Structure formats: structure tokens, C-alpha cells
Amino acid sequence: MSDGVLSQAEVESLLSAMDSHEADVSADASKSRGRNREKVSPYDFKRPERVGKEQMRALQTMHEGFGRNFGASLSALLRTIVELKLTSVDQLTYSEFVFSLENPTCFNLINAAPLEGQLILDINLSLLFPIIDRLLGGGSDPGAPIRRPLTDIELRLVSRITDLFCQEMKLAWENVLDLTLSIDRVESNPQLVQIVPPNEVVVLISFELMLGDARGMMNLCIPFNSLERISARLSANSWVSYGKKSATKENIQRISSRLQDALVEVVVDLAETNISTSDLIGLRVGDIIATEKDIARPLVVSIQGRPKFHAQPGAFKGRKAIQVVGPIN
């Protein structure tokens, strides 16, 4: 280079150096953008997660235990097998919860002092009508689906279910908070009830209940403002999960009183023997079937298919009878 003038070779060298520098800068920028994309996670402002994961796990654990115990209590009340299981614990807005429900439905508003506001218990009518039928002495056949609001008499019968729900819910929460639960009122159209603003976050705890061939959903809605002040108790390690308790006189008496009127099948085995099909077909009135059982040996009395007692045959007031002589060890 002379007198500040660049030669053609020097100009080409500078241009090639600039091109390589721009390529390195663009490569570094693309790598930086790639790293930033990896750190970015989507956030939905319509469904903010205001309840922490630890509190959600605590609620799930508590209500799993509640579901087992409420299902057992409901089985004792209806005197049939009832299966109840927790299906989900989610966060969503109140409007999403309301518009996801059927209309009509059984929409119970629950006062839960000292929690702020009210809780909601929604029970599907496809499940309630078979329960009402069972309370009135019917069977487990769900029958044809019915879509209408509950009558006053049906609401009185359903109150036995909701009162039992409140009792078991109080026991499930007793290690976190001493709740006083009561049903405030019952509505059939959920869209006419607004306990919190539509965009307020609620925790939805859903159960699936099965009664014979009938099944339906039962939803418990807890607004965030009810949980906000007790979130520390739900996240602390001091709370104990719902578990088995030692038997008390009150629990034994309560369970015994419910079992006293339950019907059980009693079967007495007089004797057992084997006979051929041809002999069985040829039996006539007056024929005698010989067995290996000694007449002096006691009979076996089975309760619900399980051998429980030894007994002696006899008669009482002109009718065939047995006399229990002792239990079977």
C-alpha cells in the first residue's frame, strides 16, 4: 500500500475477513436464540396455576383417603357395594368448571367455616336417581336416564348422602383444619350460581362413583381464596396423611348399629355325598339317599358362604330348626 491507497489484493482480503466475521456473529446469534428457546415454557394467562404443586399433592393424598372411607360409608348406608375413586385434582377457572357441568344437576353450596367463601359439591343426576331408588327399596338397575330437577322429596333423600359427605370430609381435613361443614342450599342450574368471579382459579377434585351398572361423577370445587390462608398448613410437613385410626367405642357402636339390620344368608349343610347321573334321573318320591355322615356329628352352619358354627338338628314349635352348639375355630 502506498500513499494510503489499498491494492486490489488487500481490498479482497478485507472483504473476505468481514464475510467470515459476519458468519461467525450470525452463528453465535442463532445458538443464543436456540438456548433461549429451550428455557422458554408456555404460560396460559387464562388458566394460571396459583396453587403450588406441594399443596396439590397434599389435597390429592387427603382426598384419596376420603374417597375410600366415603365409599365404605355409602356402601353401609345403601347396603350394596359402592366403588368410589379419585380421578383428578386440577386447577381451572370457575367459568370453565361451571360450563363443564350438565344442566340440570345437583349443585350443593357448602359452608365450610373457618374457610372463606363457600365450597361446591356437584353430583351427577345419572348417579343420584339410582341412589334414590336404592334408598326407597329398589334394586341396582339404573333404568332409563332421567333429565329433570330433583323434587322436594328427592332433595330430602339426597340430603342423607350430602350429610354423610360432610361428615367424612370433616374427618379427612381434621389434621389440617377443624372444619364445620353444612349445606347452605341446593340448585339445579349451575350457571345461575356465582360464588367467585368467572376468571377466579378453583381447585376441582373429581370422583367417579359406581353403583352396580350405574356410574357418574361427583365434583368438589374449592375456590383459591378459601385455600390461600391455609396454604402453609397444606405445604408443611406437620400434616399427616389420612390413614387408619385405632378403633374407638363410638366407631364400633356406629358401625355395629348400621350392620344390625343387614340381611345375611344362613346355610346349613345336612350331609354330602356323590351320586351318578343315572341314579339322579331315576329318583322317585320315597327313595332314600345314603350318606357317609354320622347322625351324631354336628351340622355345619355357614354365614355368607363361610363356615361359622356347629349345630344340632331338631324342631321348634312344629318347624324344622337347628340349635347352635358352638363356633368353628
* Whole-number pLDDT of residue 86: 92
**CB < 8 Å & 24+ apart, contacts of 5-8:** none
**Domain boundary residue among 213, 239, 259?**
259
Residue 17 lies in a domain: no
Q: For residue 213, is it within any domain?
A: yes
187 in the same domain as 108: yes
Could you tell me which residues come within 8 angstroms of residue 104 by beta carbon, excluding any fewer than 6 positions away?
A: 125, 147, 148, 149, 150, 188, 189
Residue 25 in domain: no
Report yes or no on 37 lying in a domain: no
Percent of the chain with pLDDT over 90: 15
For the ranges 9-23, 103-117, 155-169, 230-244, the lowest mean pLDDT is seen at 230-244
Residue 259 has pLDDT above 90, yes or no: no
Give pTM, 2 decimals: 0.59
**What gap in Å lies between CA 39 and CA 270, rounded to an integer?**
78
Give the confidence band of 249 by pLDDT, cuts at 50, 70, 90: confident
Q: Does 236 reside within a domain?
A: yes
Q: Are residues 74 and 195 in the same domain?
A: yes
For residues 141 and 290, membership in a common domain is answered with no
Q: Assign 38 to helix, strand or coil.
A: helix
How many other CB atoms sit within 10 Å of the CB of residue 255? 14
Residue 43 lies in a domain: no
The chain-wide mean pLDDT, for the chain, equals 82
* pLDDT attached to residue 42: 63
Where is the domain boundary, 259, 274, 303?
A: 259
- Tell me the per-residue pLDDT of 53-62, one tens digit each, with 9 for 90 and over: 888 888 888 8
Domain for residue 9, yes or no?
no
Same domain, 171 and 63: yes
Q: How confident is the model at residue 194 (pLDDT cuts 50, 70, 90)?
A: confident
- Whether 253 and 270 map to the same domain: the answer is no
pLDDT at 119: 93
Residues 279 and 239 in one domain: no
Residue 146 in any domain: the answer is yes
Exposure string (b/e) for 261-273, b if CB count within 10 Å is 16 or more? Answer: eeeeeeeeeeeee
pLDDT (0 to 100) of residue 3? 55
Interstrand relation of 180-187 and 106-113 (parallel, antiparallel or unpaired): antiparallel
215 vs 245, more confident: 215
Identify whether residues 68 and 98 lie together within a single domain: yes
pLDDT, tens digit, for every residue of 129-158? 888 888 887 765 656 667 888 888 989 999
Region of 95 on the Ramachandran plot (φ > 0 left; ψ -120 to 50 alpha; else beta): alpha
Number of domains in the chain: 2
Residue 95 belongs to domain with CATH number:
3.40.1550.10
Q: At what angle do helices 125-135 and 152-173 cross, to 10 degrees?
A: 100
Domain hosting residue 312, numbered range: 266-327
Domain boundary among 239, 259, 279: 259
pLDDT at 230: 83
Query: What CATH number has the domain bearing residue 323?
Result: 2.30.330.10
pLDDT interval class at 297 (50, 70, 90): confident
Specify the pLDDT at position 220: 93
